[in-house]
Structure 1
Amino acid sequence: MSEVSAGSFDETMWNGLLHGGLGGTFMGVPKVELTREAIAAAGAKAVVYGFPFDATTISRSGANYGPRAIRETSVQYTNFQATFDFDLFAHLPLFDGGDCHVALGNTPKTFERVEADITEIVAGGAIPVVFGGDHSVSIPVGKAAKKPGTSPGWVQFDTHLDSAPDVGGEELSHCCTITRAVDNGYDPAKMVLVGINGWMNPKTELKYCRDNGIRVIWLEDIWAKGTVWAVEQILERVGEDGFYLTFDVDALDAAFAPGTCAPTPGGMTIREAFEIVRGIAPAGLIGLDVAEPAPSLDHSTRTQLFAGRIALEALAFHAGSPSEPIYIG
């Protein structure tokens, strides 16, 4: 038997998740190296970034395959929205920077890598567009997206308050996105939680939001007062420095998003989500993530299709899409 030649086997392949970084790019956009120089030279104004990580979830796993599934289903989208006669890529050149290199069993190290990558995206003049992964993704991405000397808002679509101080001593949990955002310098007076509902929100987390003056728009508020009212409430809060948008797909009714770690019976409709995101995105995104899609729990692919679509809606209306459909007839 002949000896295997030196260099024919890459031992570094075992340093991270085997499914991380595989497959094509989101919507077939060009790849870009995650350095500020490469991003600026490419003229990128938004960069997709995958977070194949779900080590902090307290419920069903599977969100670590989210980025790959969202990219795979994104072939069903184009860069042109006929309703508004709007070409997204002409207004906001989009590139794909690949996935985070997950440090297996080491959440702090993984987050350090995410922060470093997102810092490069922001320094290159682009908006980070991040696909999770569990909702802990918002912790390092939100931290790195916030530029020094600025005071952006924070808008989180969710079923859950996510304002726990820790979970069993773990402070970098998907249940702690709000508390860590405050720790990382976001002003609670400019933070809004949208669509909170149900029977999975501890009294201690409600108290944290009350004590810190964080605005909570309950799902029942949206039912009673509508999406236009919700948009007005959010825009009153976020301020003049733009805002970070994080969308946990469990905010949606489980009929629309069954493939998630903690599906929500009776949650928000897709139409409500689109209307609110379209209404607030013109206030200026500093970054966004879509969290918690677990493709193994939804073989219909509708959860990951929504995840890609909500990112497109946010980017388009941030980039100046008209809000009135064109007239044909």
Structure 2
Amino acid sequence: MSPSEKSPATPSHVDLAFTRESPYGSRAEPTYSGALSFLRRRYTKDLDGVDVAVIGVPFDTATTNRPGTRFGPRAIRAASASLAWCQPYAWDFDPLDRLHVIDWGDVFFDHGEPAKVPDAIRAQYREFVGRGVVPLTLGGDHYISYPILQALHERHGSLSLIHFDAHSDTWRDGTGRIDHGTMFFHAAQQGIVDAARSIQVGMRTFNAETHGFQVLDARWLHQQGVDACIAAIRERVGSSACYVSFDIDFLDPACAPGTGTPVVGGFNTHEALRLIRGLAGLDIVGMDVVEVSPPYDSADITALAGASIAQELLAAHASRFPDR
């Protein structure tokens, strides 16, 4: 890689989303200016040689309470500018040294034809899957995980799901509605995810049915702690291919007010980051951060939490490739 790509000194040019010389490494750019790609990665549709594509899915019409997550991808990208100049501090490597990461931009769909949105998302993710590119998705409401999982299932078979949320999103539904509270019910019923190898963490809304998922609710996590939760996740998932889905409302509203269905009694950002770091070495084939709703945010703290969690997910994935 170019030595300039690793230097934290003042760069000779800005807008690294377009002018980056190498796809690898972290480099400083004024946080208050420049094109706001995720972590200042190159904006491109070219998937040649790409390991991870960051994709925005600005869809929020499946929400059951406050809309606004269509603005989530943009807000997370903007917040990530303050993280892009160096590696995440708790890791002994820079994930951007090991992974060729691009910002692919946003999935396009016609908002006037909402019934066609799932097909549009699924079709685009089939391209990523077909090219061997791991998707890191910025939502959007949580429904978007369903068509993404469908596309990944076509290549990887039944997936393990690691799900951080205040809600189970497995409420029984017999109609197949486009809804951000039912999509994991359908994913389990259809074998897209294997509930017996999947785990849900942080729930603090009532659902009498687990549908075979292991559920570590908020009371369990507050009582047993982060280390016990990490051990339970790793035991449940094992060596299977897994998808990590992080709903920002896993965090307490004090730490993430900018979301559509906030629930009190949640977790702080330190606990969330520790949990993500505990996923190091797992076979992560896809990941998302969803439900960031900027209209309800305060001082961008929810967007910054989302960007930080996404960066940690990149590091957890990169931990599998120490020789790169």
Same fold (TM over 0.5): yes
CA RMSD of aligned residues (A): 1.9
Q: 1:179 to 1:239 in 2, by over 3 A?
A: same
Q: Could you tell me how far 1:280 is from its partner in structure 2?
A: 1.7
Report the AA paired with residue 225 of structure 2: G
Other structure's SS at 2:55 match:
strand
Alignment of 1:29 onto 2:41: yes
Other structure's SS at 2:43 match:
coil
Partner of 2:149: 142
Partner of 2:178: 172
- 1:85-141 CA distance string (max 9 Å, x none): 422211111101111112214333111111111111122222101011111011111
Aligned equivalents of 2:158 and 2:63: distance in 1?
A: 29
Aligned equivalents of 2:164 and 2:239: distance in 1?
A: 20
Question: Which of 208, 212, 223 is the matching residue for 1:206?
Answer: 208
Q: 1:56 to 1:84 in 2, by over 3 A?
A: closer
Question: Which of 63, 67, 73 is the matching residue for 1:67?
Answer: 73
1:1-329 mapped onto 2 (5 Å cutoff): 24-33=36-45, 38-39=46-47, 41=48, 43-78=49-84, 79-148=86-155, 150-166=157-173, 169=175, 171-182=177-188, 183-197=190-204, 200-201=205-206, 205-207=207-209, 209=210, 212-320=211-319
Partner of 2:13: none
Question: Residues 52 and 99 of structure 2 are in contact (CA less than 8 Å); yes or no, is this contact kept in structure 1?
Answer: yes
Partner of 2:15: none
Question: Residues 281 and 315 of structure 1 are in contact (CA less than 8 Å); yes or no, is this contact kept in structure 2?
Answer: no
Aligned equivalents of 1:149 and 1:116: distance in 2?
A: 16
- 1:188-245 CA distance string (max 9 Å, x none): 1012110011xx43xxx422x1xx3210001111111111111111111124232101
Partner of 2:7: none
Other structure's SS at 1:128 match:
strand
Question: Residues 156 and 241 of structure 2 are in contact (CA less than 8 Å); yes or no, is this contact kept in structure 1?
Answer: no
Aligned equivalents of 2:78 and 2:308: distance in 1?
A: 13
Aligned equivalents of 2:151 and 2:60: distance in 1?
A: 20
Aligned equivalents of 2:198 and 2:222: distance in 1?
A: 21
Unaligned stretches of 5+ in structure 2? 1-34
Aligned equivalents of 2:193 and 2:112: distance in 1?
A: 28
Report the AA paired with residue 74 of structure 2: R
Larger CA Rg, structure 1 vs 2:
1
Question: Residues 86 and 321 of structure 1 are in contact (CA less than 8 Å); yes or no, is this contact kept in structure 2?
Answer: no
Question: Residues 161 and 244 of structure 2 are in contact (CA less than 8 Å); yes or no, is this contact kept in structure 1?
Answer: yes
Report the AA paired with residue 163 of structure 2: Q
Question: Residues 111 and 140 of structure 1 are in contact (CA less than 8 Å); yes or no, is this contact kept in structure 2?
Answer: yes
Aligned equivalents of 1:276 and 1:293: distance in 2?
A: 19
Report the AA paired with residue 29 of structure 1: R
Report the AA paired with residue 43 of structure 2: K
Q: 1:223 to 1:149 in 2, by over 3 A?
A: closer
Identify the structure with the greater helix proportion. Answer: 1
| Identical counterparts, % of pairs | 32
Q: 1:149 to 1:298 in 2, by over 3 A?
A: closer
Unaligned stretches of 5+ in structure 1? 1-22, 323-329
> Normalised by the size of structure 2, how large is the TM-score?
0.83
Partner of 1:12: none
Q: Could you tell me how far 1:147 is from its partner in structure 2?
A: 4.2
Question: Residues 128 and 145 of structure 1 are in contact (CA less than 8 Å); yes or no, is this contact kept in structure 2?
Answer: no
Aligned equivalents of 1:321 and 1:286: distance in 2?
A: 11
| Aligned positions, number | 285
Question: Residues 257 and 298 of structure 2 are in contact (CA less than 8 Å); yes or no, is this contact kept in structure 1?
Answer: no
Question: Residues 149 and 192 of structure 2 are in contact (CA less than 8 Å); yes or no, is this contact kept in structure 1?
Answer: no
